[in-house]
C-alpha cells in the first residue's frame, strides 16, 4: 500500500515539472527576444526609475551603491508581481486541462510561481555581477538572501492561492489586483529609502516596515548591498514587532492554501 502514495507523489512531481517547463516556454513563445525578456523587464524598469529618480531628482545620493540598491528592489518587486498576477490567473488559463484530467489543482498555481522563481534566479545572477562591478564586497550575509526570497515566495503563493480561487468564479479579481499592485508599488520602499520617510514620520516608517514585501526587500538590501539599510530588525525597536511581517506571511499562506483546497472541488465546473 505504501507504494500507491509514492506513485501518485511521483506523478504529481512529473506533472509539476512539465507544467513549469511548458509555462516557461509558452510565456516567451512568439517574441523576438524570447527568454531575454526575463532579464529585460526588471532591467528596463530599473533603468527608467534610475534615470528619473537618481539622475533627474537626485534621490538616493546618500545611499551606498544606490544603483544596486534600486536594482535589487525592482527585481524583487517584479518577481512579486509576476508570481501573484500569473498565479491568480493560472486556474482560468488551464481550464481545459482541469476539466479533462483529475489531479491536485494546486500544481497549476505552483507551476506558474515556479516559472517566476526561474526568472528571479536569472535576475539574481545579474544583480550579483552588477554588485561586484559596483564595488560591493561579498560577505557571509549573502547566504541569508535565499531565506528572504523564500519568505516573499510564500507570501506570493498564498495570495495566488486565495485570489486565484476567487478568480475562478469572479473574473474581476485579476483586474482589481492590477490596480492594487499599482498602489502597492508606491507603498513599498522601492524608489525611496525608508530613512526619507522616517525623517518626516517615524510612525509611517514603522508601518511601512511591517509590510512583508517591504521587510523582505529591505532585508535583502541589508544582507546583499549595504548594512546601512533600514530594516524591521534594526528600526522597529522590539523583536516581537519585527516578527509581525513573518507571521503575516504565514497567515496569508495558510488561509490561501486552505481556501484554495476547499474550493478546488468546484473548479472543473466553474472554470
pTM, two decimals, is: 0.88
CA distance 107 to 169: 19
pLDDT over 60 at 188, yes or no:
yes
Pick 96 or 65 by higher pLDDT: 65
Pick 96 or 71 by higher pLDDT: 71
Pick 230 or 59 by higher pLDDT: 230
Q: What is the pLDDT of residue 207?
A: 92
CA distance 155 to 212: 8
> What are the sequence ranges of the domains in the chain?
3-270
Q: Are 183 and 131 in contact (CB under 8 A)?
A: no
pLDDT over 80 at 128, yes or no:
yes
Q: What is the pLDDT of residue 158?
A: 96
165-171 long-range contacts, CB within 8 A, separation 24+: 165/91, 165/256, 165/259, 165/260, 165/263, 165/264, 165/267, 167/88, 167/89, 167/91, 167/92, 168/91, 168/92, 168/263, 168/266, 168/267, 168/270, 168/271, 169/270, 171/92
CA distance 195 to 170: 40
Amino acid at each position: 500500500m505504501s507504494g500507491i502514495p509514492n506513485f501518485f507523489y511521483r506523478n504529481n512531481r512529473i506533472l509539476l515539472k512539465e507544467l513549469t517547463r511548458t509555462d516557461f516556454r509558452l510565456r516567451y513563445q512568439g517574441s523576438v527576444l524570447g527568454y531575454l525578456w526575463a532579464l529585460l523587464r526588471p532591467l528596463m524598469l530599473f533603468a527608467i526609475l534610475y534615470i528619473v529618480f537618481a539622475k533627474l531628482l537626485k534621490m538616493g545620493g546618500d545611499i551606498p551603491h544606490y544603483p544596486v540598491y534600486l536594482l535589487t528592489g525592482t527585481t524583487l518587486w517584479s518577481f512579486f508581481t509576476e508570481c501573484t498576477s500569473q498565479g491568480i490567473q493560472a486556474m482560468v488559463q488551464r481550464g481545459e486541462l482541469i476539466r479533462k484530467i483529475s489531479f491536485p489543482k494546486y500544481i497549476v498555481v505552483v507551476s506558474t510561481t515556479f516559472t517566476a522563481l526561474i526568472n528571479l534566479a536569472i535576475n539574481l545572477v545579474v544583480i550579483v555581477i552588477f554588485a561586484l562591478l559596483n564595488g560591493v564586497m561579498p560577505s557571509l550575509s549573502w547566504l541569508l538572501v535565499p531565506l528572504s526570497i523564500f519568505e516573499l515566495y510564500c507570501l506570493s503563493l498564498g495570495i495566488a492561492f486565495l485570489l486565484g480561487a476567487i478568480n475562478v468564479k469572479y473574473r474581476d479579481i485579476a483586474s482589481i489586483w492590477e490596480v492594487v499592485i499599482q498602489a502597492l508599488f508606491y507603498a513599498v520602499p522601492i524608489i525611496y529609502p525608508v530613512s526619507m520617510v522616517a525623517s518626516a514620520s517615524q510612525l509611517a516608517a514603522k508601518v511601512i516596515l511591517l509590510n512583508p514585501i517591504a521587510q523582505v526587500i529591505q532585508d535583502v538590501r541589508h544582507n546583499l548591498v549595504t548594512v546601512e539599510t533600514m530594516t524591521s530588525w534594526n528600526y522597529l525597536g522590539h523583536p516581537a514587532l519585527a516578527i509581525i511581517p513573518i507571521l503575516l506571511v504565514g497567515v496569508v499562506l495558510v488561509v490561501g492554501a486552505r481556501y484554495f483546497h476547499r474550493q478546488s472541488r468546484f473548479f472543473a465546473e466553474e472554470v
